[in-house]
Amino acid sequence: MTDSHKNKRPHMSILRPVTGPNALHLSDIFRNETTGGMLMLAATVAALLWANFGQHSYHFFRELTVGPLTIEGWAADGLLTIFFFIAGLELKREFVEGSLSRPADALVPIVAAVCGMVFPAGIYTLFNLLSADGHPAGWAIPMATDIAFALAVLAIVGSGLPQAVRAFLLTLAIADDLGSIIVIAVFFSNGIDIWWLLGAIVCISLWGVMQHFHVDNGWWYVPIFIVGWWCMLHSGVHATIAGVAFGLLTRTEEDVLDDPVDRWQHKVEPWSAGAVVPFFALMSAGVQVSKETFLGLWAHPISLGIICGLIGGKVIGITLGSWLTARFTSAELGRGVVWRDIIAVAMLAGIGFTVSMLMTDLSFPKNHGFADEAKASVLVASFLAAILGGALLHHRGKRHSLWEEKHPHEVPVAAGTSNNAD
């Protein structure tokens, strides 16, 4: 998913290219962070319009059963496994040779990510424990950061920012993804069926063994992936965990061009960004919107907990976690990054969306009223975070550009020194 990784792999096409020597492949367009974010946004708008102007047809389509699952179930438990497979591949890459391979470099954003999950969950829990009509079960909803949306906004407004700002956000989001995966696996697994789980483990282990022995024919892996997902679906562990496990066990090596992680990302990522995530958004984001609904978001503990968690909790947690780590350890912020950059990134990290929507379905599986309210809150909070975070980062980009003009041979450092761009 990162530009540095994409540049090292040879050009391979999945879809038929547009003719011409300099033509872009459609798959390359879908890999673009901005394109993926725009498709997700378009699907969200389409879901809102469909749910509000064709409510019966929308719910009928979502509840339509195809094979063992409803359409909505296929989106959340089936297709989203592909999204988590990409997340697993990205994690594997970062663990081996990326930002998570050097603990000293990754310490600040990792601690920031943990604090950026704990504080939103704490704020939500506080709102709902102190209210008579509160529902603490939704504590996990405001914990997530949507890496696709956040990076898409950063790509649009991030001109002039140090490259280290993007690296900080990427590492933060990856660590956040890992935290969300752990939360799903630990807290949203019910009634474990040991035999189905054993079947999933066998498939995952077989994938790892084949990777170890350099079996690189992708078609051998497709049935293993499907059977492993099917077993995980029936095991009581959320099915998307299978995708993460397959991704983490995929082989990658430093300084090796076109290794399996590269190839799988190259082939699968366009489908994830161009189809899987937008379809999930279409099936998840369709909530009733009205003046009464909007006003009600500011009065109910569920919605207040989510909005305040994603907006305030992320900013407080990420900023405080970064400061504590930089203050009490030898870890440092990235080159040219100052504290106001961290605050801006923390605001942008309040874009929860994809994983927050999934957490909503997991937290309120049998109460569509609470689920719709929570999803509306996620949409509002994510929109506010995108606008506020984007505006702050755009401002920071201009400040960095002015600094470079005035001090062409100096690098701004965090607060407390004379070379301060804050």
Contacting residues for 68 by C-beta, under 8 A, at least 6 apart: none
| Confidence class for position 139, pLDDT limits 50, 70, 90 | very high
3-class secondary structure, 259: coil
Helix ranges restricted to H, 189-239: 194-212, 221-235
**Sign of the Cα pseudo-torsion (169, 108, 90, 243, in order):** negative
CATH number at residue 386: 1.20.1530.10
Q: Does the pLDDT value for residue 112 go beyond 70?
A: yes
Task: Give me the pLDDT at residue 296, please.
Answer: 74
Task: Give me the pLDDT at residue 4, please.
Answer: 43
CB 33 within 8 A of CB 146: no
Tokens of 415: 């607060």
Is 61 inside any structural domain? Answer: yes
Task: Give me the pLDDT at residue 164, please.
Answer: 82
Task: Give me the pLDDT at residue 81, please.
Answer: 92
Tokens 């990134």 — which residue? 345
Task: Give me the pLDDT at residue 125, please.
Answer: 96
Tokens 């990777």 — which residue? 211
Compute, in degrees rounded to 10, the torsion defined by CA atoms 351, 353, 359, 361. 150
Q: Does the pLDDT value for residue 18 go beyond 50?
A: no
Tokens 């009634």 — which residue? 191
Rounded to an integer, the average pLDDT of 68-80 is 90
Q: What is the 3-state secondary structure (H, E, C) of 330-346?
A: CCCCCCCCCHHHHHHHH
Tokens of 69: 């699952």
Rounded to an integer, the average pLDDT of 416-422 is 42
Taking only the tens place, the pLDDT of each residue in 352-376 is 988 899 899 889 987 777 888 899 9
CB 43 within 8 A of CB 278: yes
CB 246 within 8 A of CB 207: yes
Task: Give me the pLDDT at residue 32, please.
Answer: 61
Longest dimension (CA), the chain: 66
- Predicted TM-score (pTM) above 0.85: no
Distance between CA atoms of residues 103 and 401, nearest Å: 30
Q: Average pLDDT over the chain, rounded to whole?
A: 84
Distance between CA atoms of residues 139 and 117, nearest Å: 10
How many C-beta atoms surround the C-beta of residue 212 within 10 A? 10
Q: Exposure string (b/e) for 328-353, b if CB count within 10 Å is 16 or more?
A: eeebebbebbbbbbbbbbbbbbbbbb
Taking only the tens place, the pLDDT of each residue in 185-237 is 888 877 789 999 999 999 999 999 999 998 888 789 999 999 999 999 999 88
Lowest mean pLDDT among 169-173, 265-269, 290-294: 290-294
Is 193 inside any structural domain? Answer: no
CB 88 within 8 A of CB 250: yes
Q: Does the pLDDT value for residue 10 go beyond 60?
A: no
Distance between CA atoms of residues 253 and 260, nearest Å: 9
Is 344 inside any structural domain? Answer: yes
CB 143 within 8 A of CB 120: yes
Is 212 inside any structural domain? Answer: no
Is 198 inside any structural domain? Answer: no
3-class secondary structure, 125: helix
Rounded to an integer, the average pLDDT of 99-118 is 85
Is 18 inside any structural domain? Answer: no
Helix ranges restricted to H, 236-276: 240-248, 260-271
| Confidence class for position 156, pLDDT limits 50, 70, 90 | confident
Is 200 inside any structural domain? Answer: no
Total of domains in the chain: 1
Tokens 């979502």 — which residue? 62
Distance between CA atoms of residues 100 and 91, nearest Å: 8
Amino acid letter, residue 128: N
Q: Does the pLDDT value for residue 411 go beyond 70?
A: no
Task: Give me the pLDDT at residue 270, please.
Answer: 87
For residues 130 and 160, the model is more confident at: 130
| Domain containing residue 139 | 26-188+238-406
Is 179 inside any structural domain? Answer: yes
